[in-house]
C-alpha cells in the first residue's frame, strides 16, 4: 500500500505551505493597487485644484489687464481733450480778442474817421476768417470725411472742386504777420532776434509761436491802450529762449493796474497753464509774472538738444 502513494511520502508538507504564500502575495497586490489608486486620486484632486487656481489667476489677470486698458484709454482721452482745449484756446482767444478790440475801435471812430473805422472792420473780418479757417482745419482733423479728405472749401478756395489742403500749424516764420495784427489792433510791438536763426523741430517751433501769441494777446486784452510790447527770440547753442515784455503801471510808484472792464474781465488762466504744459513736454520751463517796473513778463526756455 505504501508503494501506491510515492508523492505523499516524498513531501508531506508541500500542500500545507503553498496556501499562506499565495494569501500574502494577494494581500500585497491589493495593497499596491490601493496605494496606486490613492496616489492617482490625490493627483487628480491636485490637478483639479491647480487648474482652478490657474483659471482664477487668469481671470484676475484678465480683469487687471482690462482695468489697465480702461485706465490707459481714459488717460489718453483726457490728454487728447486737454490738447484740443489748448488748440481751441489758442485759436479762439487770439482772434476773438483782436476782433473785440478792432470792433470797439471802429465804434469809437465810426462817425468822425470813417476810413479808420473801415480799416478796423476789415481787420475784424480778417481775424474772423482766420479763426474760421483754423477751426475748420482743427475740426477736419477731429472728424474727417468718410473719404479722409477735407472737402470743405474755404473763402479763398478755388472752384476746381479739389480738397482744401490743410496748412501746417504756425511757427516763428509767421511771427511777422502776428506782430502786424497786434500792432494794427493798437499795441505797438518791437521784435528782436539774437543768435543765428535755424530750423527748429516742429513742436518747438509751434510752442514758441504760441507763447508769443498768448503773451501779446493778453497784453492787448488787458492793456490800457497806451503801452507797448517787446518780443525777444534768442537762438542759443542748446536752447531757444523767448521773452515777451509789455509796459504798464509800475508797482514801485504805487500805480495800480486799471480795473478790467466787462469786455476785459480776467480769464481762467487756461492759456498760461497750457503753455506750461507745452513747454514741459520738451523739458523746458516758463515763467510769467508782473514786472516791478510795470507790465508783465513772460519768459520761456525750450531745450533744443533733448532727444
pLDDT digits (tens, 9 = 90+) for 264-277: 445 545 677 778 88
Are the CB atoms for 186 and 101 separated by under 8 Å?
yes
pLDDT (0 to 100) of residue 14: 47
Q: What percent of the chain has pLDDT over 70?
A: 73
CA dihedral 289, 291, 296, 299 (to 10 degrees): -60
Residue of higher predicted confidence among 245 and 16: 245
Q: Is the pTM of this model over 0.85?
A: no
Q: Give the confidence band of 301 by pLDDT, cuts at 50, 70, 90.
A: very high
> How many C-beta atoms surround the C-beta of residue 90 within 10 A?
24
pLDDT (0 to 100) of residue 13: 47
Q: Give the confidence band of 286 by pLDDT, cuts at 50, 70, 90.
A: very high
Give one word for 205, left, alpha or beta, with left for phi > 0 and alpha for psi -120 to 50: alpha
List the grid coordinates of 18: 503553498
The region of weakest confidence among 72-81, 111-120, 195-204 is 72-81
pLDDT (0 to 100) of residue 190: 93
Decide if pLDDT at 254 tops 80: no
pLDDT (0 to 100) of residue 222: 76
Decide if pLDDT at 162 tops 50: no
Q: Give the confidence band of 181 by pLDDT, cuts at 50, 70, 90.
A: confident
pLDDT (0 to 100) of residue 6: 47
Decide if pLDDT at 289 tops 80: yes
User: How does pLDDT run across 221-237, given as a tens digit for each residue?
Assistant: 877 666 889 999 999 98
DSSP code at position 304: S
Decide if pLDDT at 66 tops 90: no
Q: What percent of the chain has pLDDT over 90?
A: 14
List the grid coordinates of 39: 496616489
Decide if pLDDT at 57 tops 80: yes
CA dihedral 273, 277, 186, 129 (to 10 degrees): -110
Averaged confidence pLDDT in the chain: 76
* Three-class secondary structure of residue 238 per DSSP: coil
Q: Give the confidence band of 194 by pLDDT, cuts at 50, 70, 90.
A: very high
List the grid coordinates of 223: 492793456
Q: Which residue has the cell 499596491?
A: 32
Give the pLDDT mean for 66-81.
Answer: 78
pLDDT (0 to 100) of residue 154: 44
Of 257, 267, 243, the closest CA to residue 294 belongs to 257
Rounded alpha-carbon distances, angstroms, from residue 120 to 35, 132, 153, 238: 102, 18, 26, 42
257 φ, ψ (degrees, to nearest 5): -65, 145
pLDDT (0 to 100) of residue 140: 65
Decide if pLDDT at 120 tops 90: no
Are the CB atoms for 227 and 236 separated by under 8 Å?
no
Amino acid at each position: 500500500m505504501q508503494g501506491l502513494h510515492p508523492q505523499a511520502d516524498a513531501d508531506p508538507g508541500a500542500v500545507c505551505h503553498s496556501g499562506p504564500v499565495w494569501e500574502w502575495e494577494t494581500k500585497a497586490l491589493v495593497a499596491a493597487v490601493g496605494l496606486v489608486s490613492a496616489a492617482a486620486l490625490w493627483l487628480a484632486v491636485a490637478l483639479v485644484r491647480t487648474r482652478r487656481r490657474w483659471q482664477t489667476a487668469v481671470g484676475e489677470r484678465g480683469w487687471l489687464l482690462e482695468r489697465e486698458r480702461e485706465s490707459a484709454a481714459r488717460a489718453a482721452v483726457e490728454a487728447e481733450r486737454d490738447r484740443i482745449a489748448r488748440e481751441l484756446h489758442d485759436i479762439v482767444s487770439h482772434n476773438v480778442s483782436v476782433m473785440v478790440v478792432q470792433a470797439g475801435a471802429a465804434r469809437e471812430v465810426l462817425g468822425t474817421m470813417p476810413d479808420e473805422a473801415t480799416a478796423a472792420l476789415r481787420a475784424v473780418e480778417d481775424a474772423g476768417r482766420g479763426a474760421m479757417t483754423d477751426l475748420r482745419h482743427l475740426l477736419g482733423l477731429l472728424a474727417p470725411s468718410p473719404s479722409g479728405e477735407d472737402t470743405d472749401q474755404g473763402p479763398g478756395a478755388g472752384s476746381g472742386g479739389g480738397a482744401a489742403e490743410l496748412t501746417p500749424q504756425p511757427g516763428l516764420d509767421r511771427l511777422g504777420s502776428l506782430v502786424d495784427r497786434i500792432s494794427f489792433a493798437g499795441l505797438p510791438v518791437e521784435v528782436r532776434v539774437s543768435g543765428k536763426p535755424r530750423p527748429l523741430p516742429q513742436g518747438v517751433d509751434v510752442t514758441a509761436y504760441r507763447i508769443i501769441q498768448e503773451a501779446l494777446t493778453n497784453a492787448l486784452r488787458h492793456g490800457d491802450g497806451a503801452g507797448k510790447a517787446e518780443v525777444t527770440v534768442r537762438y542759443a547753442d542748446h536752447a531757444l529762449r523767448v521773452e515777451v515784455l509789455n509796459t504798464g503801471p509800475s508797482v514801485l510808484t504805487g500805480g495800480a493796474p486799471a480795473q478790467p472792464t466787462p469786455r476785459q474781465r480776467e480769464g481762467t488762466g487756461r492759456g498760461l497753464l497750457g503753455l506750461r504744459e507745452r513747454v514741459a513736454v520738451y523739458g523746458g520751463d516758463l515763467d510769467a509774472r508782473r514786472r516791478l517796473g510795470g507790465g508783465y513778463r513772460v519768459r520761456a526756455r525750450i531745450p533744443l538738444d533733448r532727444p
